[in-house]
Structure 1
Amino acid sequence: MAQEPAIQSVLAHRQFVKSAQVLSGIITGIVADGQLHDMEIQMLSTWISANPEVAQSWPGSAVARYLAEAMADGVITPEERAHLLQTLQQLVGSDFAESGAVEPEVAALPFDETAATPLQNSRICLTGEFVYGTRSACERLAEKAGCTPVAAVSKKVHYLIVGTNISPQWVNTSYGTKILRAMELREEGHQIGILRERDWLNLLQQS
C-alpha cells in the first residue's frame, strides 16, 4: 500500500511527459509557416482542454494561460495573434520563418543573461551536467563565492544554474523536474533566476 502513491506519481509524470511531447509537436506544426489562424488557435485550445494534465506544469500552463487571455472576449486582435504566435515560437525554441528549420526542442529555456540580484549571499540550486566539473566541484566554487548551494528548487532559491551539457529534450531527463519547478515558480510570480553555466561562471569571476 505504501508504494501505491509512489507508483501513481511515476505514472502521472510519465503521462505529463507524453502530453508535453505531443503538445510540442502540435505547436511546432502550427508555427512552422510563421502564421497563426483562428482554426489553429481553437484546435490547440480544444486539445489542452481534453488533456488537462499538460496545463498543470510549465510550459503547458503558460500556453493555456496565453490562449485563455487571447480568447477571453471571443475576438482575437492582430496584436494578440502576433503575441501568441511569438510566444508559441519561443516555447518550441524556433522561428521557422527566419531559420528555415524547426528545432526539435520540447521547450526553449528563458535564460537570464545577467543576475537581477548579487550572487553573493544568494541561495542557488544546480541542475544538469557541468563543463566546469563535478557537482561537488561546482558547489565548492559557489560556496567560495559566498553562495549557498541547496538540493531542491523552492521559493527560497534565488537562482537555478543549468549545466552546459543539457539535452534539447530536457523535459524528459531526471534534472528536468528542477527546471520545470523553476518555471512554475515564475508563473506564480516568484523571482527565481535561471542562468546558463557560462553566464554564472562569468558573474562569479566578475564578483
Structure 2
Amino acid sequence: MPDLHEEFKNSRFFHEARIDRRSVDALIGIAAGLTADESINQKEAVFLKRWIENNLTHLNDPIVNILYRRLDDMLSDGILDPEESEELLSLLKQFTGTSEEASMPFSAPTSLPLNYPPPIVAWREQTFILTGTMAYGPRKHCEALITERGGRIGASISKKVNFLIIGSIGNEQWMHTSYGLKIKKAVELREAGTPIAIISEEHWQRTLFG
C-alpha cells in the first residue's frame, strides 16, 4: 500500500512551510481586524486564543508562542480585565505593524533614546512606568516585581516618574506607536532637566536577576 503521507509530502502541491506562512498571514489579518476599533474584548480574545490553538501552536514559532502565552495567561482566570485588554491591543497592533515586510512581525526596537551609560536602578520610593511589550511576561507581573522591592507604578509620564522601562518587544516604527508617545514625553522631560531615566527591559532584568 502506498504511503499517502509521504506522497503528499513529496508532492509539488504540498509545502508545509508555505501552508504555515499562510496561517501566519491569516493571523496577521485577524489581528488587524480585531484591532480596527481600537479595543479588544473578552470574546475576541477567546476567539483568537482558540484560533491559534487550532492553527498555529504546532509551529513552535517564538513570535506566535509569545502571543499565545500572553493570551493564555490573560484568560487563565476567565476574565480579561481592562489593563489586560489594553496590553493585548498594544501587542496585536505591534504584531500587525510591520506585516507588509518580509521579516518577522516583531523585532527589537531600534534607535531608542536610552540613558547611556545605563543608570543604577534604585527601587524604594522610586516611581516606574512600563511601556511597550515586556518579554519577561504580562505587565502586571513586571509591575509586581517592582512593588515587591518598594517601588511605585506611575499612572502617566510626569516629573514625578524616575524610570521609564521600554519593553524588549516592539517594532522599528516606535515613534508612531502609542507607547512611542510615552517615550517622546519622557525625552522632552529629560532634556528639560527632569531626572527621568529611560532604560531598556534588558537593563531592568539585569538589575533584577543579575
Shorter-chain TM-score tier: 0.3 to 0.5
What is the TM-score normalised by the length of structure 2? 0.45
